[in-house]
Structure 1
Amino acid sequence: MGADQLGVAVVGGGFMATVHSRAARAARARLVGIASSTAEKSAKAADELGFDSGYASFDALLADDSVDVVHVTTPNALHADQAVAALAAGKQVVCEKPLATTVADAERMLEAAGTSVATVPFVYRFHPMVREARARFGDGSAGRVLSIHGSYLQDWLLGADDDNWRVDSTQGGRSRAFADIGSHLVDLVEFVSGDRVARVAATKKTVFAERAAHRDIATEDAVAVVLQTESGAIGTLLVSQVAPGRKNRLHLEIAGSAESVAFDQEHPETLWVGRRSGSLLIPRDADQLHDDAARLCVVPSGHPQGYQDAFNAFVADTYAAIGGTTPDGLPQFADGLRAVRVTDAVLDAAESGSWIEIE
């Protein structure tokens, strides 16, 4: 089945539904329908995003035989049941991260996926310069991993008047900042280095116990992590949604025994390669990159690519997998489960004051 033949439906009508629908359209899928929290909101979202129709309910979406792929973009606590139901209905699934709010639910989702294509949008993998960083560790150019330094900083919840459903643990889950954005950071650490996080120690902070519409908030605004990998490398991670001036600053630097690589998501057109002498700043130029990075360069060098381009590439690879190919680096439910396990370990470490081993 070619991507241009796929019928796509989205459940959830917020910002991420917009991002997913743009990517589906770019992949030449048919936007069949969307289901939001009410029939009226579904109709409005369908009109705004260009879907053929708005469903009166999620059940109506599942009953539509013209839908091949369901994109789940609802609040975190709904992911597991909706994704499992879509898989049981014979649909392929793209489910937002965090994949689930508990390890048990994420395991249930992976089991339900079986041989279906079921992916999770760890889309920063699809920046060409992330693939270039990964290739340098993969081919041995960077040497063995020695240390890791990463951060993901935002400021959209900086004030007490800033609020969102994610602060509510009943909707977002036990973790907020780490599950929401730290999951991206840990995924990149393991994806780029090829080394898995083995144990963590952590501390977390909730800056505001009360916000505009929520009280007794327990989910974290920021978390700091010390880690050790399976190979013995050490590292630190800082994740915060209360960092003034930082909008989406995911920064990752990994030191190898031969060279370091550093990627900054707010400046994604270059990759810094550090050497004892002769450090480089490599531009996003397909002629200078490894093949897997070059294939993701969709516009000529000098014309910036960004977040939506990375998301488009993720969705295109998902649809290609549905068509029978095996794109390298496609994040699937197993990767989503891995992120949930790491998140649980980080929260356990912060709450116990102890190092926590990760499966």
Structure 2
Amino acid sequence: MSDFAKIRAAVIGTGFIGTVHVQALRRLGVDVRGVLGSSPERGRERARAMSVARAYDSLEDLLADKSVDVVHVTTPNHAHYPQVKSILAAGKHVICEKPLAMTSAESAEMVDLAKASGKIAAVCYNIRFYPLNQQAHGMVMAGDLGDIRFVTGHYHQDWLAKPSDWNWRLESEMGGALRSVGDIGTHWVDLTSFVTGLKATSVFAELTTFLPERQKPLGPVETFTSGTGETETVHIDTDDAAMILIRYENGARAVMSTSQVNMGRKNSLQWDIAGANASAAWDSETPDHLFIGHRDAPNQTLMRDFTLMNGPGIAAATLPPGHVEGFADSFFNFFRAVYADVIAGGRQQGSTWATFEDGHYEMQFCDAVVKSASESRWVDLSEI
């Protein structure tokens, strides 16, 4: 039996991303003890579909299961704060989907609770664990790019581009004040912060809602699917898209955009990082290629290959060269790193998974974006 097989997990949330968590945990060899759905009936239905032995009736039921070591939170954003508080109070490790909370006030308290608990507390910013993002992080830390000057990029999707497209993320009471920024933009913010080692000090943002009215289905709708049947017209108060200017602590600058209404962009996260010595760029839709740009030498495209990568890149890779590592693999790589620290008894030096402190930074960023868009001015994160 592997060390991973000795750890027992439970997953809260049985939708699209909860299923991804269960599948990645099983690949790792972790014992998934049970799942908790949005209702007991839903939980039992999804447990059967995923061949999970147990469906819990409630959070209290799950937390009373002394066999569970780690709890994964994959519920809508508004549930993260109360659920994580209960999980930590029960003495269990926790992996929470992003964004960590609804506000930075909530996330600040969650940071304190995690520290006091002594338990592993991770935020699911899985995109760090595409191997070439680890490679780029290693290159920056080694000084290959030189001092970072300018960062550009986007995270664009099209799954909410029509008035008939619907998901709980559209409703601010469930997803928070920000949608495109909170749901996918925080991935970009976290990833570029991880690769560059830089934190934003101030932001200037504009938020846009192109579809102020949508047709909400009267029945349930799964993520990335369209509803059918009867609908009602509802007002939308969350952002379809955003443009954000960023100032970093070292004087570097960034320009980012987010959108969930860009036709044809299914799941496109791109970053381009310019340093004093070289530049690098990566695109989630071609994840096994890393562009490396030079002024006085030919540009390069590095393919994910164990014989060509640096230490961080090699450590994150699991498949042979030419076998593309994608979305599901990033969760496997992420969980492998977190669960190794669970086994070790705490976060180890050199670990690169996102902590609750990282999740809190992303929430400060989001709150600053809301304030900037509302007041049409630069907002320092220190104001939050």
Which letter does structure 1 place at the counterpart of 2:155? Y
Q: Name whichever of 325-334 and 107-116 sits farther off.
A: 325-334
1:111-122 maps to which residues of 2 (within 5 A)?
111-114=112-115, 115-122=118-125
Unpaired runs of at least 5, structure 1: none
User: Where do residues 170-185 of structure 1 align in structure 2 (5 Å cutoff)?
Assistant: 170-185=173-188
Of 296, 313, 316, which aligns to 1:293? 313
Out of 128, 147, 152, the position equivalent to 2:150 is 147
2:319 aligned with 1:316, yes or no? no
List per-residue Cα deviations over 1:76-124 (Å, max 9, x = no partner): 0000000110111111001100100011111121111122101011111
CA shift at 1:228, angstroms?
A: 1.1
Q: How does 1:225-304 map to 2 (within 5 A)?
A: 225-276=244-295, 277-304=297-324
Is 1:356 paired with 2:379? yes
Tell me the residue number matched to 2:189: 186
CA distance in structure 2 between the partners assigned to 1:270 and 1:255 by the alignment? 17
1:60-75 correspondence runs (5 A): 60-75=61-76
Task: Tell me what 1:93 maps to.
Answer: 94
CA contact (8 A) 1:224 1:236 kept: yes
How far 1:265 moved relative to its partner?
0.6
Q: Which residue identity does 1:34 align to in structure 2?
A: V
Aligned-pair identity in percent equals 36
Equivalent runs, 1:133-144 vs 2, <5 Å: 133-144=136-147
1:188-221 deviations in Å (ceiling 9; x for gaps): 1111111211111010101112111162211100
TM-score (norm 2): 0.92
Give the whole-Å Cα distance in 2 for the aligned partners of 1:113 and 1:190: 22
2:127 matches 1:124: yes
Task: Establish whether residue 305 from structure 1 lines up as the match of residue 325 from structure 2.
Answer: yes
Q: Is 1:343–2:366 an aligned residue pair?
A: yes
Taking the TM superposition and a 5 Å limit, the aligned residue runs for 1:157-236 are: 157-213=160-216, 215-236=234-255
- Secondary structure, aligned partner of 1:61: helix
For 1:38 and 1:233, how far apart are their aligned partners in 2?
48
**Partner-residue secondary structure (3-state), 1:8:** strand
The question of whether the paired residues in 2 share the 8 Å contact of 1:31 and 1:50 is answered with: no
For 1:36 and 1:323, how far apart are their aligned partners in 2?
Answer: 27
The runs of at least 4 consecutive aligned structure 1 residues that moved more than 6 Å come to none
Secondary structure of the corresponding residue to residue 244 of structure 2: strand
Whole-Å separation in 2 of the counterparts to 1:319 and 1:167: 33
Aligned equivalents of 1:224, 1:20: Cα separation in 2: 31
Alignment-mate amino acid for residue 316 of structure 1: R
Partners of 2:351 and 2:342 lie apart in 1 by: 14
Paired residue secondary structure (2:214): coil
Q: Is residue 355 of structure 2 the alignment partner of residue 332 of structure 1?
A: yes
Q: What's 1:49 paired with?
A: 50
Deviation for aligned residue 1:272: 0.2
1:59 maps to a residue whose letter is E
Cα displacement (A) at 1:37: 1.6
Q: Which residue of 1 aligns with 2:14?
A: 13
Offset of residue 187 of structure 1: 0.6
C-alpha distance in 2 between matches for 1:352 and 1:346: 10
**Does structure 2 conserve the Cα–Cα contact (< 8 Å) formed by 1:286 and 1:295?**
no
In structure 2, distance between residues paired with 1:17 and 1:2: 23
CA distance in 2, matches of 1:113, 1:231: 29
Distance 1:190 1:74 in 2: 25
Please, which moves more after superposition, 307-316 or 212-221?
212-221
| Contact in 2 for aligned 1:137/1:193 (Cα 8 Å) | yes
Aligned residues: 359
How many Å separate the matches in 1 of 2:239 and 2:213? 12
RMSD: 1.2
CA distance in 2, matches of 1:3, 1:113: 22
Query: What is the distance in 2 between the residues matched to 1:136 and 1:320?
Result: 24
* TM-score, normalised via structure 1 length: 0.98
Indicate conservation of the 8 Å contact 1:32/1:53, yes or no: yes
* SS at structure 2 position matched to 1:282: strand
CA positional deviation for 1:2: 2.9
Counterpart Cα distance in 2 of 1:295 and 1:273: 20
> In the alignment, residue 356 of structure 1 is paired with which amino acid?
V
Cα distance in 1 for residues equivalent to 2:355 and 2:197: 16
d(CA) in 2 for partners of 1:56 and 1:196?
Answer: 41
Give the superposition deviation at 1:316.
Answer: 1.1
Deviations along 1:301-336, one digit per CA (max 9) or x if unpaired, are 011110110111111111111111625211111111
